[in-house]
Amino acid sequence: MNIENVLATRYASAEMNELFSVKSKIIFERQLWVTILKAQKQLGLDISDTVISDYEAVITKVDLDSINERERTTRHDVKARIEEFCFLAGHEQIHQGMTSRDLTENIEQLQIRHGLEIISNRVIAALARLSALAIEHQDLVIVGRTHNVPAQITTLGKRFASTAQELLLVYRRLTDFLDSYPLRGIKGPVGTQQDQLDLFEGDDKKVSELEQIIAEHLGFEKVFDSVGQVYPRSLDFEVVSLLLQTASAPSNLAHTIRLMAGHELVTEGFKDGQVGSSAMPHKMNARSCERINGLTTVLRGYLSMTSGLLGEQWNEGDVSCSVVRRVAIPDAFFAIDGLFETFLTVLDDFGVFPKMIEHELEQNLPFLATTRVLVAAVQAGIGREEAHEIIKEHALAEARERRENPHSTNGLVERLANDQRLSLNHDDLKPLLENPMDFAGNANQQIQEIAKQISDIIADHPDAAVYNPETIL
């Protein structure tokens, strides 16, 4: 029976699936073994070129069934993979001076770093689209909402810019983390490098050189100085925490799009032939945005799992963490990758309904300008708190009237103009309401600043910016 990993097969990209596939991991391991052989030979160990070439010739010859059969006997996954590789090459010279963690930890870290690089590129692609949407809709005035209640005027462009702002924050965190992410290195069973020292007859300089060669092969600039059998599991928690933070901006915007779609203001896109409900033919659900929110919840679960590894290490290490890491780390990357495949699709297919937006504005506009009226009243000489109470009195009364008579004309302006306490007449109030864009504040300036920051990133990563997601189900 073959039970699929839904996160991998349904949501994540082929690129991320390839990175964390069992076959790829085995090939990465074999490449590392060969690199270590070459380094050991270079540093003076008696290893023939024939041995190295024989191992190189079978690196990609991966028989998972054979490896699994060996593991049924050994009950040790790394020992099974050692035996298989040696059988194929016809030699028994790999893994000299190494423990299992010298292999697995470093390769898992390689996968993590490559995974973070993929997600960093996805973030750049999302930033490029958010910037374009922000500029495209910078003059589209909408009802801004706080507590999901109409508040003030904003623009649709600013909503995209605010999402981009949060995503810029996490992009910089990703960049900084990748720059500082350290490799465990070749440390041996308890982290002392004793076995490598024995191989090189106590020459710690050669041991250090070997580790540096391995780090360069794997693409790492920094290596831990002192660890036990395993590197600190707090580092894994930080990785998954960063993935969850990366999901935050897309998830926030997905919530907003779902709310706007519920008012028929926008759409995440609805393809020809798509079905919203098997029962209700009229339905056009924001299901992709719902998926984004759902995958964010999945990531919270994996953060909880990896948090359970913190402070639980016994002495130099044990294998209890392996059970958690084998599930949580690959699946967290599948989840965040699937989230961005979906998010990019939503941004590409996003659409607006201007007439519905205009209608909502008309219904709410006088209320949205109450802060401008408040400022004008203060400038006319009335105390701020007194003015606030007067405006609130009329606004609440008009709101009650609208709820009882929803088709009635909004009379808030008339109420305010007729209240002598405010010292504001129709002529005073009219310019405050004439052009909604006038009270969108600095929205456009903010959009332009965000767009400038994103353009600088795009200039450095043009290929990432134009990434197109795979077709989502």
- Enter the tokens of residue 168: 């810029």
181 DSSP assignment: P
| Higher-scoring residue by pLDDT: 15, 371 | 15
Q: How far is the first Cα of the chain from the last one, in angstroms, to the nearest whole number?
A: 24
Q: Is the pLDDT of residue 40 over 80?
A: yes
> Out of 58-67, 177-186, 229-238, 384-393, which region has the weakest mean confidence (pLDDT)?
384-393
| Higher-scoring residue by pLDDT: 253, 287 | 253
| Res. 277 pLDDT band, cuts 50 70 90 | very low
H or E stretch covering 122: helix 100-136
Give me the residue label for tokens 């392996």. Answer: 322
Q: Alpha-carbon dihedral of residues 274, 280, 282, 287, nearest 10 degrees?
A: -50
Residue 266's beta-bridge partner residues? Answer: 352
Predicted local confidence at residue 282, as pLDDT: 53
Which string of DSSP letters, residue by residue, matches 335-390? HHHHHHHHHHHHHHH-EE-HHHHHHHHHHHHHHHTHHHHHHHHHHTT--HHHHHHH
147 is catalytic: yes
Q: Is the pLDDT of residue 139 over 60?
A: yes
Torsion sign (Cα): 245, 250, 252, 254: negative
| Res. 180 pLDDT band, cuts 50 70 90 | very high
Distance CA 210, CA 297 (A): 42
Predicted local confidence at residue 283, as pLDDT: 46
Predicted local confidence at residue 275, as pLDDT: 46
| Res. 293 pLDDT band, cuts 50 70 90 | very high
Q: Where are the beta strands (DSSP E) in 80-224?
A: 141-146, 149-155
98 DSSP assignment: -
| Higher-scoring residue by pLDDT: 401, 198 | 198
Q: Is the pLDDT of residue 138 over 50?
A: yes
- pTM > 0.85: yes or no: yes
Q: What are phi and psi of 361, to 5 degrees?
A: -60, -45
Q: Please, are residues 148 and 365 in contact by the beta-carbon 8 Å criterion?
A: no
Ordered by where they begin, the domains of the chain are 6-352 (1.20.200.10), 356-439 (1.10.40.30)
CA distances from 301 to 45, 250, 254, 392 (A): 47, 18, 19, 44
Of 48, 76, 263, 277, which one is the catalytic site residue? 277
Predicted local confidence at residue 141, as pLDDT: 94
Which string of DSSP letters, residue by residue, matches 263-318? TTSEES---TT--S-SS-TT----HHHHHHHHHHHHHHHHHHHHHTTTT---TT--
Give me the residue label for tokens 């990563």. Answer: 461
- Enter the tokens of residue 454: 């994103």
What is the percent of the chain with per-residue pLDDT over 90, rounded to a whole number? 74
Specify the 3-state DSSP secondary structure of 467. Answer: coil
Average pLDDT, the chain: 91
Predicted local confidence at residue 433, as pLDDT: 75
- Enter the tokens of residue 231: 């590197």
Predicted local confidence at residue 284, as pLDDT: 61
- Enter the tokens of residue 255: 């919530």
Predicted local confidence at residue 2, as pLDDT: 76
Predicted local confidence at residue 274, as pLDDT: 57
Of 147, 278, 282, 407, which one is the catalytic site residue? 147
Residue-wise pLDDT for 69-106, tens only, equals 999 999 999 999 999 999 999 999 999 999 999 999 99
Residue-wise pLDDT for 323-364, tens only, equals 999 999 999 999 999 999 999 999 999 999 999 999 898 888
Predicted local confidence at residue 198, as pLDDT: 93
| Res. 365 pLDDT band, cuts 50 70 90 | confident
Q: Please, are residues 325 and 236 in contact by the beta-carbon 8 Å criterion?
A: yes
Distance CA 431, CA 237 (A): 55
Q: How many CA atoms lie within 13 A of 38 on its CB side?
A: 14
426 is catalytic: no
Q: Is the pLDDT of residue 280 over 60?
A: no
Measured in residues, the chain has a length of 473
> Out of 16-25, 276-285, 416-425, which region has the weakest mean confidence (pLDDT)?
276-285
